[in-house]
């Protein structure tokens, strides 16, 4: 997908698409900023937990980039597609259709995976809320569920949230 971003951006500016809409450009920029942010913040996990550093839940933010790329490619090539001359279409644009189908199938597969994982993720976060609201931070096993190496940070953070009535303590 990252290889299609430069191609789509080049087509976007080459075809002077800025005269009609900036939205596909903004979609791609949002997706790139999200991808770079995730890569930078999760880089330390990549060595210890390679699957955690680029988990499927992060790829859902790339949908906008996919929409932007598809939008630019369709807008660029739509007027060139001759529905009468099918042979020309298959020779020139089949690669484009195959790439788009591959990307869309990957996005659908990721969404299905996230739907299955979502239930367990919700239970996990409900358990974290229960631990935070309990006020008993002596159980190191429960505090470890917050996934921070120094458990004192968790305890200090939870006490700060409680003191200032923030997050789950705001009710």
Q: Domain of residue 35: give its range.
A: 4-118
CA angle, residues 86, 95, 32, in degrees to nearest 5: 135
Is there a domain that residue 112 lies in? yes
Mean pLDDT split into 10-residue runs, the chain, 171 residues = 82 82 91 83 66 65 85 76 60 74 83 85 92 88 85 91 91 71
At residue 161, the pLDDT reads 92
CA torsion, ordered 63, 68, 70, 75, to nearest 10 deg: 160
Number of domains in the chain: 1
pTM of the model: 0.60
- DSSP conformational letter for 84: S
The Cα 143–Cα 135 span in angstroms is 11
At residue 50, the pLDDT reads 59
Is there a domain that residue 136 lies in? no
Per-residue pLDDT reduced to its tens digit, 17-54 = 778 889 999 999 998 898 888 777 777 666 666 566 56
């Amino acid at each position: 997908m990252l290889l299609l971003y430069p191609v789509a951006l080049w087509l976007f500016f080459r075809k002077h698409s800025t005269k009609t809409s900036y939205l596909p450009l903004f979609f791609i920029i949002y997706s790139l900023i999200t991808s770079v942010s995730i890569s930078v913040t999760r880089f330390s996990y990549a060595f210890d937990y390679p699957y955690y550093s680029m988990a499927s839940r992060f790829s859902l933010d790339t949908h906008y980039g996919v929409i932007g790329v598809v939008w630019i490619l369709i807008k660029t090539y739509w007027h060139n597609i001759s529905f009468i001359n099918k042979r020309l279409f298959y020779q020139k644009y089949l690669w484009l259709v195959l790439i788009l189908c591959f990307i869309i199938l990957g996005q659908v597969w990721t969404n299905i995976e996230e739907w299955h994982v979502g239930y367990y993720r919700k239970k996990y976060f409900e358990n974290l809320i229960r631990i935070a609201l309990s006020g008993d931070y002596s159980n190191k096993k429960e505090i470890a569920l917050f996934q921070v190496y120094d458990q004192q940070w968790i305890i200090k953070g939870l006490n700060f949230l409680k003191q200032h009535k923030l997050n789950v303590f705001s009710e």
